[in-house]
Amino acid sequence: MPTTCALVLCTPKEGSKFKYDTEIQEQNLAALKEGEVLVKMGAVAFNHRELWIRKGMYPRIAKGSTIGADGAGSFVDIQELATDAFTGKVVASFDQSDSLLGKRVFLTPMRGWESHPHVPEKPFGILGGAEYPRLGTFSEYVVVDRNEVILTPDHLSDREMAAWPLAGLTAWRSISLANVPTNGSVLITGIGGGVALLALQLCVAMGFNVYVTSGSQSKIDKAIASGAMGGVKYSDKTWPKQLAALLKSHGLRYVDSVIDSGGSEIMQQVGPVLAFGGKVVCYGMTAGPTISLSMREVMRNQQLIEGRRSSDEIVNPGHHVWAEITNDHGPGTIPTRAETLSIDVYAERTALSFSRTPALLVLAMEIQSSTSGSKIPRTTRALMMRAPTVAQQSLYNDALLEQVALPTLKPGQVLVKITAAAYNHRDLWLRKGLYPKWKVGRVLGSDGAGVVIAAGDAEDPLLNKRVFLTPMRGWESHPHVPEETFGVLGGTAYPDVGTFQEHIVLDRKEVIPTPSHLTDEEIAAWPLAGLTAWRSISLAEIPPNGTVFITGIGGGVALTALQLCVGMGLKVYVSSGGQGKIDKAIAMGAKGGVRYSDENWPQTLAALLKSHKTELDAVIDSGGDEILAKTAKSLKFGGKVVCYGMTAGPKITMSMPQVMRNQQLIGTLLGSRKDLISATEFVEKHKIVPIVGKVLTGLESAEEGFEIMEKGTQFGKIVIKVGWPEGAKATL
């Protein structure tokens, strides 16, 4: 057996601020016994417990013992010293045929409690620095019983797995004891610590409404970015009243439970906003050494759960949970959602640990990686259209970020993790109540792209493939009309799905593989605008080397139509309200353009075309109003005006002179799935890249996109990153 370097407690050096110092010692490893394994450590996570031990504030401290138990915080790699202690690899076993040999594992942080629902079966202890067990994790090698290691999910590194055990157990068990009802509300205090962060993420994943407290507004803001509904600063003495006001603004009077790390007066502070029968689960007392339960709370059947052996039942939810565990990059920090890692976990053994120190009053359930194969969230964050919350002169529906349930995957369906979604003016019109059959309570968004992360069929070839969503329903392949009830995604009665959400379940035929040359942001800008542009060009029936006039350049459809027409070898002219957009269009291949803000633009266009010795075969228009009358003299006999929008006026008129010239006015809305597939194949063949004018980060930034659209200053599509931070192929 090899020796190992370990970090052990020792007598404090002169001038030390701690009751115990630490030093690196080389130690002999015990010979392996039957049922034991040797683990080479890979990473360790620090806990405040280690700090309390060094300060002498933890019971039954044993000088000379190796420290380390687990937690979320700063990490040290095994380099000169092999630093970690919760994860590593089994490099030897008493049984040479042991199935754990060579496997990556993490260590259970406690001893003595296997499966009893209420109390440990044997003497109980937590690893690191204590009389029992005389084992810590800050060591290069650790000899343990094989039943004290759990396989590390293969998608997690040792560092990432080390972030989970002790903090994860505490958070999980706290939530279980809180017994929060479906769609219930939870207050989590002291956000920023490892347990609080994990509790936040678990609660959000379970579909709860989460509110937080912190001494720092920035931590509250980061918690909101991670799914919290809001928060208050506990450094303000009036925070309980502020919390009550916040809940009231969200249509709530109470929270169902409180998960607390502070202790002290928490019961009295939250009592007025805690539901009848609500529970306060306290896993720490950083604010004070005691918690009191007064007659007022008793009269409201409110409960304080401390984690004594004689109190409270263990609540085992008994279901799979989609949990996102965060690799905390330092004490009190919250990484962005883009830095979180997903792990499908479930309760394997109950492990309520008991400690007389105020640090760990309630520990959560131990977790293992699920063997079910798929990682399927039960809920997702989504941008919902809601009725206005403030009186306005004209209707403008709210867009609120909410946690919503996901349907169960069925055969023939896929689960897509949305990584990017794009705006359309349609979304703005929906919020203004100007779109037919709009409906509050629907997820917004028609365009989206992402990755298939689960499927109803285990061998589905779409698994792990980058895809984009078809933006419509009911139109498969007919050249003229939908075969079934037609609808566009987002904000309407039918269909009842939208793309401004983090995950979505849909039929597998409703996704199309993303061309390899495009990023997720770029392909998200494609579907609705691309299909509209493709069908507009198809209906225009422009001859080879023909000439087309595209109005309103700068918008998504107009820009896409420009790119497609240039790719087809057509001569393109454009209009815009600004010369800058015209110049950009010319740089993309347009032959010239006119400013529609100039009243004489029809004459200017005619002169421009005459100078180029050409006439228009077609007009692709988004404005409506008098477009046919204004372009008729430049439009060839039999020429077509294809209109896909009416931003300039609610109608288009056709007079006898246009009829006499056999000119046609054609309206169009999207197209079929067959059209979209054909258009995408053209884009892939010609390596066309949709124009993205602005990229926003996170659904929390959604309102900014609507403001940009309202101003009309964008050139290209507005896209919002929903999932991973990198675009393109890098999303996998």
pLDDT tens string 479-516: 887 888 889 999 888 898 999 999 999 999 999 999 99
**CATH number for position 90:** 3.90.180.10
174, 259: one domain: yes
Answer yes or no: is 135 within a domain.
yes
What's the start-to-end Cα distance of the chain, in Å?
41
Residue range 458-486: mean pLDDT, rounded: 90
Name which residue leads in pLDDT, 394 or 476: 476
The domain of 291 spans 166-369
695 Cβ contact list (under 8 Å, min separation 6): 521, 719, 720, 721
518, 534: one domain: no
pLDDT at res. 90:
57
Answer yes or no: is 575 within a domain.
yes
Place of tokens 């925070």: 239
**What would the two tokens of residue 720 be?**
């919002």
Residue range 163-191: mean pLDDT, rounded: 89
Domain end point (choices 306, 339, 369): 369
Residue 205 has pLDDT above 80, yes or no: yes
H or E element at residue 585: helix 579-587
pLDDT at res. 47:
76
9, 143: one domain: yes
Mean pLDDT is lowest, of 288-292, 323-327, 631-635, for: 323-327
598, 555: one domain: yes
pLDDT at res. 301:
44
pLDDT tens string 336-385: 222 222 222 222 222 222 222 222 222 222 222 222 334 478 888 999 88
pLDDT tens string 663-701: 888 888 889 999 999 999 999 999 999 999 899 999 999
**CATH number for position 615:** 3.40.50.720
The count of domains in the chain is 4
The pLDDT-based confidence of 590 (bands split at 50, 70, 90) is very high
Tell me which DSSP letter residue 153 carries.
P
Answer yes or no: is 374 within a domain.
no
pLDDT tens string 111-133: 887 876 555 788 888 888 888 88
Answer yes or no: is 30 within a domain.
yes
Percentage, residues of the chain above pLDDT 70: 81
Answer yes or no: is 279 within a domain.
yes
Residue 112: exposure state from Cβ atoms within 10 A (0-12, 13-18, ≥19): middle
Answer yes or no: is 160 within a domain.
no
pLDDT tens string 544-575: 999 999 999 988 899 999 999 999 999 999 99
339, 386: one domain: no
The pLDDT-based confidence of 321 (bands split at 50, 70, 90) is very low
pLDDT at res. 118:
52
pLDDT tens string 413-456: 999 999 999 999 889 988 888 888 888 889 999 999 999 999 98
Answer yes or no: is 123 within a domain.
yes
The pLDDT-based confidence of 14 (bands split at 50, 70, 90) is confident
Residue 169 has pLDDT above 90, yes or no: no
Cα–Cα distance measured from residue 636 to residue 90, given in angstroms and rounded to the nearest whole number: 78
143, 199: one domain: no
58, 96: one domain: yes
pLDDT at res. 729:
33
Cα–Cα distance measured from residue 178 to residue 206, given in angstroms and rounded to the nearest whole number: 13
